[in-house]
């Protein structure tokens, strides 16, 4: 109000000055006309009339321009913040104003404040329905979901996830996802591995996993689900990773039970199978020399079939054990070439039945290795068995072994058969995985490579494959020399090292902090 009074005073004084000047001009004109120019009659009255006429025209012009200047600047400020006018209207330049500057400064700042408040109200009005919408959608979604920020902390959980994992949102928000979700994956393609790779190489990425397990804090049965994730680097809202869970606990548990049941039944095959194979061996020894070549061939085929069946039984029983984390390996000092020789000589007959020759090339001075003899036999037997099955019409399979540049014993099984399509290579070690192309023609369970990988992993080695369709495959794995086990705790008098083969791979990040 003070500013307004000050402005009124300024206007009054301007008007007073204007009247004063105006009157002085009239008096001055009268004086000059009468005393200096000595005018009289109509000339004198003409001058006296002209002076007010001129001032009547000029004064309003000067006064309106001066008095309206503050109003013009306020008007300009309103236009400047108004969303409906074109954006070319600039901010008013109040500094140059001499009349009512304080009043105008005060009024324009209030106009700007009002405009910003209105802007905020407008934007919240615009946003609110969207936010409400998305949180309504996320919470109404019958699928558990969560959102992580760039530090992998949980920034959102929907109601379905809270119910699913039996935790309240307040316990979860702000926590690192790995400390909350104790997830295990059926292969090394884990969530944290994918997320780390995506962070390094991608702006956005999507991925999904099947058969993920989640241990619950209250130690009730693990949940099993498929998982889908979306990653968006540097999302402005801070939401980087979205996880959606598709519950299959019931179905997968039934599968697990089925696997347990199959394992139980298969176990019953073991005793009669061992008996049959024993008799085949006895017959072969006793009758072999007297049999004609055709009957000898039959005997060989019977033996090979018995061996294949025994391998199949062992695979199923071992996978069931791995599933239950029950397969324990005893790593002892072993002579590797002698193990290769025993596997190759056992498999030679099967290869021969298929018209294949098994050739070996083993480096002479290999160090002793730290392996579980029984399990590593299975790894090599499975790889050679596959090489025989998928060799098509080729004639040779090579088994080679050498010490590699990392000081590990590296062994390869190379065939020249069907080969594997590049698109299926990433899944080749997955449980139950069988390539589409040949599963109809060639029998199998899709467990051999899964088992081989689980065992090699447990022994501290690695396994990989290079392959080309119609040219063949080369499966390679490493095992560690016994000397490298020297630092590990050995069991009592046996001097062996125990390791477990695990079917479930944890998110590695759990072990990081
Ligand atoms: P299976 O019982 O089907 O042989 P594996 O786990 O041993 O199961 O192998 C998985 C799949 O990998 C096979 O179904 C086959 O498609 C492919 N495979 C494995 N070894 C070879 C090979 N040497 N040559 C071509 N394909 C192979």
- DSSP for 136-183? HHHHH-SS-EEEE-TTSBEEEE-HHHHHHHT--HHHHTTSBHHHH-EE
Residue-level pLDDT at 471: 94
Task: Write out the H or E segment, with its range, that includes residue 475.
Answer: strand 472-479
CA of 290 to the centre of ligand 1 (A): 38
Contacts of residue 417, defined as CB under 8 A and 6 or more positions apart, other chains included, come to 387, 390, 391, 392, 394, 472, 473
Residue-level pLDDT at 507: 59
Nearest in space to 76 (alpha carbons), one of 42, 44, 35, 111: 111
Q: How far apart are CA 97 and CA 244, in angstroms?
A: 63
Residue-level pLDDT at 37: 85
CA of 386 to the centre of ligand 1 (A): 6
Nearest in space to 249 (alpha carbons), one of 181, 190, 193, 165: 165
CA of 411 to the centre of ligand 1 (A): 18
Helix (H, G, I), strand (E, B) or coil at 357: strand
Nearest in space to 430 (alpha carbons), one of 164, 235, 189, 257: 189
- Ligand 1 pocket, residue 476 CB under 6 Å: no
- What is the Cα gyration radius of the chain? 45
Which atom of ligand 1 is the closest one to the Cα of 419? 25
- Ligand 1 pocket, residue 191 CB under 6 Å: no
Question: Residue whose CA is closest, atom 19 of ligand 1?
Answer: 386
Nearest in space to 204 (alpha carbons), one of 181, 177, 232: 232
CA of 434 to the centre of ligand 1 (A): 6
CA of 305 to the centre of ligand 1 (A): 18
- Ligand 1 pocket, residue 482 CB under 6 Å: no
- Ligand 1 pocket, residue 447 CB under 6 Å: yes
Residue-level pLDDT at 480: 93
Nearest in space to 279 (alpha carbons), one of 298, 311, 302, 301: 302
Q: How far apart are CA 428 and CA 430, in angstroms?
A: 6
Which of 420, 425, 450, 452 for mutating ligand 1's site (highest number of atoms within 8 Å of CB)?
A: 420
Which of 446, 463, 467 for mutating ligand 1's site (highest number of atoms within 8 Å of CB)?
A: 446
- Ligand 1 pocket, residue 434 CB under 6 Å: yes
CA of 481 to the centre of ligand 1 (A): 28
Nearest in space to 413 (alpha carbons), one of 349, 351, 333, 481: 351
Which of 386, 434, 439 for mutating ligand 1's site (highest number of atoms within 8 Å of CB)?
A: 386
Q: How far apart are CA 134 and CA 129, in angstroms?
A: 9
CA angle 160, 163, 164 (to 5 degrees): 80
Residue-level pLDDT at 510: 39
Backbone angles phi, psi at 261, to 5 degrees: -65, -45
CA of 195 to the centre of ligand 1 (A): 29
Side-chain half-sphere CA neighbours of 423 within 13 A:
3
Cβ atoms 418, 442 nearer than 8 A: no
Cβ atoms 154, 148 nearer than 8 A: yes
pLDDT beneath 50: ranges in the chain: 128, 509-513
Nearest in space to 229 (alpha carbons), one of 507, 513, 438, 420: 507
pLDDT digits 0-9 by tens, 345-375? 888 888 988 899 999 999 999 999 999 888 8
Question: Residue whose CA is closest, atom 13 of ligand 1?
Answer: 434
Cβ atoms 277, 283 nearer than 8 A: no
Q: How far apart are CA 419 and CA 215, in angstroms?
A: 39
Task: Write out the H or E segment, with its range, that includes residue 28.
Answer: helix 2-31
Distance of CA 241 to the CA centre of its chain: 7
CA of 425 to the centre of ligand 1 (A): 10
- Ligand 1 pocket, residue 444 CB under 6 Å: yes
Q: How far apart are CA 374 and CA 391, in angstroms?
A: 26
Task: Please give the C-alpha separations between residue 439 and each of 51, 104, 435, in angstroms, as whole numbers.
Answer: 115, 86, 6
- Ligand 1 pocket, residue 253 CB under 6 Å: no
Q: How far apart are CA 430 and CA 451, in angstroms?
A: 9
Cβ atoms 96, 62 nearer than 8 A: no
- Ligand 1 pocket, residue 318 CB under 6 Å: no
- Ligand 1 pocket, residue 473 CB under 6 Å: yes
DSSP class of residue 355 equals T
Residue-level pLDDT at 359: 96
Which atom of ligand 1 is the closest one to the Cα of 387? 23
Q: How far apart are CA 429 and CA 473, in angstroms?
A: 14
Which of 390, 393, 394, 470 for mutating ligand 1's site (highest number of atoms within 8 Å of CB)?
A: 390
CA of 433 to the centre of ligand 1 (A): 8
Neighbour order of strands in the sheet with 472-479: 357-362, 396-403, 409-415, 472-479, 463-468
Residue-level pLDDT at 511: 38
Query: Helices 448-458 and 373-389 meet at what angle, rounded to 10?
Result: 150
- Ligand 1 pocket, residue 463 CB under 6 Å: no
Task: Please give the C-alpha separations between residue 191 and each of 158, 186, 398, in angstroms, as whole numbers.
Answer: 20, 11, 37
Residue-level pLDDT at 492: 57
Q: How far apart are CA 89 and CA 235, in angstroms?
A: 35
Which atom of ligand 1 is the closest one to the Cα of 442? 3
């Amino acid at each position: 109000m003070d500013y307004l009074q000050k402005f009124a005073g300024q206007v009054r004084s301007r008007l007073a000055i204007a009247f004063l000047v105006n009157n002085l001009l009239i008096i001055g004109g009268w004086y000059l006309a009468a005393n200096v120019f000595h005018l009289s009659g109509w000339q004198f009255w003409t001058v006296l009339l002209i002076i007010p006429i001129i001032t009547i025209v000029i004064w309003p012009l000067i006064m309106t321009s001066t008095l309206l200047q503050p109003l013009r600047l306020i008007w300009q400020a309103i236009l400047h913040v108004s969303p409906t006018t074109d954006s070319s209207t600039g901010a008013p330049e109040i500094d140059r104003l001499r009349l009512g500057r304080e009043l105008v400064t005060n009024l324009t700042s209030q106009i700007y404040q009002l405009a910003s408040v209105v802007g905020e109200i407008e934007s919240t009005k615009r946003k609110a329905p969207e936010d409400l919408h998305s949180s309504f959608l996320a919470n109404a979604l019958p699928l558990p979901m969560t959102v992580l920020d760039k530090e992998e902390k949980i920034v959102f959980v929907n109601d379905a996830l809270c119910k699913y994992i039996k935790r309240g949102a307040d316990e979860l928000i702000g926590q690192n996802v790995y400390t909350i979700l104790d997830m295990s994956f059926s292969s090394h393609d884990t969530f944290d591995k994918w997320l780390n790779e995506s962070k390094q190489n991608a702006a956005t990425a999507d991925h999904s996993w099947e058969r993920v397990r989640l241990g619950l804090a209250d130690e009730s049965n693990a949940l099993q689900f498929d998982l889908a994730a979306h990653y968006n680097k540097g999302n402005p809202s801070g939401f980087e990773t979205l996880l959606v869970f598709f519950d299959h606990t019931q179905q997968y548990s039934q599968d697990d039970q089925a696997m347990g049941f199959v394992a139980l039944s298969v176990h019953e095959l073991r005793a009669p199978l061992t008996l049959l194979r024993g008799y085949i061996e006895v017959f072969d020894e006793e009758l072999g020399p007297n049999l004609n070549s055709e009957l000898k061939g039959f005997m060989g085929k019977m033996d090979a079939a018995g061996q294949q069946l025994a391998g199949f039984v062992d695979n199923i029983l071992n996978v069931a054990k791995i599933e239950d984390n029950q397969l324990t390996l005893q790593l002892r000092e072993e002579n590797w070439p002698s193990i290769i020789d025993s596997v190759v000589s056992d498999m030679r007959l099967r290869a021969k039945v298929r018209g294949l020759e098994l050739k070996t090339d083993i480096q002479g001075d290999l160090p002793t290795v730290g392996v579980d003899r029984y399990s590593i036999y299975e790894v090599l037997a499975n790889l050679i068995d596959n090489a025989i099955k998928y060799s098509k019409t080729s004639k040779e399979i090579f088994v080679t072994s050498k010490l590699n540049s990392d000081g590990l014993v590296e062994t390869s099984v190379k065939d020249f058969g069907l080969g594997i399509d590049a698109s299926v290579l990433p899944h080749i070690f997955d449980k139950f995985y069988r390539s589409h192309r040949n599963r109809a023609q060639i029998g199998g369970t899709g467990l051999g490579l899964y088992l081989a990988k689980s065992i090699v992993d447990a022994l501290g080695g690695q396994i990989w494959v290079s392959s080309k369709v119609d040219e063949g495959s080369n499966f390679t794995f490493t095992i560690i020399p016994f000397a490298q086990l020297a630092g590990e705790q050995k069991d009592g008098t046996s001097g062996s090292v125990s390791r477990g083969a695990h079917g479930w791979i944890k998110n590695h990040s759990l072990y990081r902090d």
